[in-house]
Every structure is written in C-alpha cells, then in structure tokens.
Structure 1
Amino acid sequence: MSPKRACNTCISRKVKCSDSLLCDTCRRAVKRVRCTYLRPAHRRGPKSRPVGSHQETNLPGIQSTENLQNDQDKYMRNNSNVTVSSSTPPYSLQCIPKTILASGIRLYQQYSYSVWPVVNAEALLERLEDIYPERVDPNAGNTSCLIMALCAATMAQLHLDPLVDGSRTVDSTTMVQACLRMRTRCDSHGANLDVRSVLVSFFLHTKVNQRNSAMIYIQVAMT
C-alpha cells in the first residue's frame, strides 16, 4: 500500500489532505482550484545542514520591540511593489469599503480560521465601525491594520479574485498598501506595539509565504 500524499493546494496551505481525486480542501475552496499531485514528496524529518553552517536551529520565543520593527522594515524593503509614503496620509486614497473588509473577514472565518486560528472574526466584524475615524485614533488604527492584513493574507492564500463593491475593486496588494499606510500614520501618532501589531506582521509575512518569519510573530503573540 503506497503512503498517502497531499495535493499541491494542501501542501501550499499546510493542511491535512484527504488524498482523493478531488480532496476535501479543494472541493470546499471558495474559488475553484485544480486538485493536482505534481509536487514530489519530500523526505520527512530534519534536513541536514552543511558543515560549518551558523544558522540557528531554534526560533526565538520572543523578540524585542526593536527586532520586531527591524523585521517590519525589512518586509517593506523586500516588497518593492508596495509603496508607502509617510508624507501622504491614507485618507488621501479612496477608503476601502467596509463591505469589502467584512467580506474578507468572513472568508477568513469560513476557510482560513482552521489554518490560522489566531483572530476572533466576530469581534473584528463588530469593530468595523472604528475604521477610518474622523479624528486620529492610533488604537482604532491598529485594529484597521489588523483587518486589512488579515484580508490580504486570506485573499492571497486562497488565490481569490479581487473583491468588488460597486465601482471599487480591491485585490490583496491594495489591502497591503492600505495597511502599511495606516500603520505609518499610527506610528507617527504614538501607537504602541501590541498584540495587534504583532498579528499584522504575521499576516503580512503569511501573505508573501514567508512562513518561518510568520511563525515567529505567532510565538510572540502567544507569549
């Protein structure tokens, strides 16, 4: 009897695969995907390292605020297609409709919560009224950043088409741009680094498949 294998989609999302012609994950996907088994199976267990490698084997359980900020800055530098200008306030852009944000949160709750059970989707839906306040409110801004980062990661990992509300069309890259602009604005008004800030970094790294970096932020959030 041959060992079970996972399809390409389940390998990418790191979820359990039912190993059928059309697995449960692909069948329930919000957007139709091909259930294929093209990737070669990798040997289980620890991978050997070259002699003399100085790479650390253990991920740190917690990082200092300075290290977290350095990682966030590195993310922004490495993703050159996402432009962030500290001199341009996010409200100079058209705001992302709350209906689109609500749709993204519900998609996370339905399809991605089982993979990343780190955010209470119902609580975020209740906080949508705090987004884009009339006055500068770093606390509400941190929640806004979290919602947009969550939506961006969900859309990217589920390979969703852009979400549409009337004449507005928003893809995952637009979500990231809005999130980073909002975070820059909050930082300039003295927002504190809290668990929401850590989860924002987790979802931004997840969006670009930087899983090792993303897991560091989950460790920080759980500490």
Structure 2
Amino acid sequence: MGSLDMANDEERLLWQQWLSLRDADTRTRLFFHHSAWSRTVAGYYYNRYPHPLAEWHDYLSLTSQGLLQAIDGFDLLRHVRFRTYAEPFLKGAVLKGLSAYIKDQRPIVRERLEGIGSEQRFGVADSDFELVVNSAVDLAFGYFLELGVIDETPPDNNPLSAYVQQDKDQSLGLLVERLPERERQIIVGHYYQQMSFVELAGLLGVGKARVSQLHGQALRRIRKLYEEVGGMEWEW
C-alpha cells in the first residue's frame, strides 16, 4: 500500500475519502492534519532563506499555499509518503513567493477588525468607548495567539518571563482546542498558518463574510473561556 502503510489510521481514512470524493471537507481536514508539520517547514525556510522584506507571517502563508497544492496533486499510487511528496511544493511556494515579494500594507489587521466589529455585540446603552475597548481586547487575544507561535523567546531573556509566556501560550492553545470545529479551523488557519480570510473562505467553502463572522465569534469565545478559568493580567 506504500504511503498508506506509513500513515496512521486517521490519515489513511482521509486519503481514501479524498481519493474517492475529492470533497472540500476532506481537503480541509487533510490540510489541518498536516498544518503543524508545515509550520515546522516554514521555520526551516525562514532561517535558511532569510529575506530583507519578508516576515515570519509570509513564510507561514506561503507554506500553507504549497501544502494545499500538494494535497490537490497527491496520488496514493505513487507509493511515496505524502510529506516527502509535498516538501518540494512547500519549498517552491516559498521561493516563488520570495522572488516576487513586494512589501505592501498587509490587509490582515483590517480583516481582523472587520470581523470583530461586524456584529452588534452590545446593547443600545453601551457607549462607543465601551465598543472600542471590547474590540481592542478581542483583537489583543488574536495577537496573543499569533505571538504564541512567533515569539518563542521573551525579549528580556528572563527565565521567569519565559515560563509565564509558555504558560499563557499553552492555556490559549487549550482554549483553541475547545472551540467548535469551524471556529477552531479559522483560528488555526488564520493565526497559526497565516492564511487570509479570502484563502480560508476558499478552503472551507464559505463566503469571506462568514469567515469574518466566525473569526469574531471565536475570539470572543476564547476571551470568555479564558476569563472563566482565571483570566490574565492585562498590561496596557
């Protein structure tokens, strides 16, 4: 069976479904099954192929694109492990992206703000100031999620700071796991894989507005869950 013999039961089932159905849901599940590995690959290329204009986010986004291309082209009959087959796709996506890289204003923050502020979340008695503050806190949770992946070492190199940061990262990661599946996929895809809302909409088979809505819901759910288990000390 080649690559199937080397895959775990979950992945074996997913590839069999993908081979027979070619459906969006199976493609999505395969993507998230291999997303942690693709982040590791992104880290390798980030160190091996540094670019004066590119950021860590760009490497994650490019490897995510390469992963999707590899899933679409993979054939079990090749008798090769998927990650062996996929690695050239990830490398090619990174090198092609870096070669054509033009620094511009990233739309990622605007997307997040639109998702957080797109719904009427407060009563009519709430002031504009309260709306802004609550939106800022929700947005901050998104940055904590992102920094948990990007900033592995605190800037002050203090061992205690490292312990506190690790504890926060792990706590947030556990809360992400408690999200409903679709919200969890959007948080992982957007913050861990650095996919835009447009890319996630295509992957998940929904409209960009729906991705934006679910993104806002997920951040609010994470915030509520975090407060329920003890919260964090905010430093503004």
Q: So what's the TM-score if we normalise by structure 1? A: 0.27
Structure with greater helix share of residues? 2
Quick one: higher RCO (CA 8 Å, sep 6+), 1 or 2?
Answer: 2
Q: So what's the TM-score if we normalise by structure 2? A: 0.26
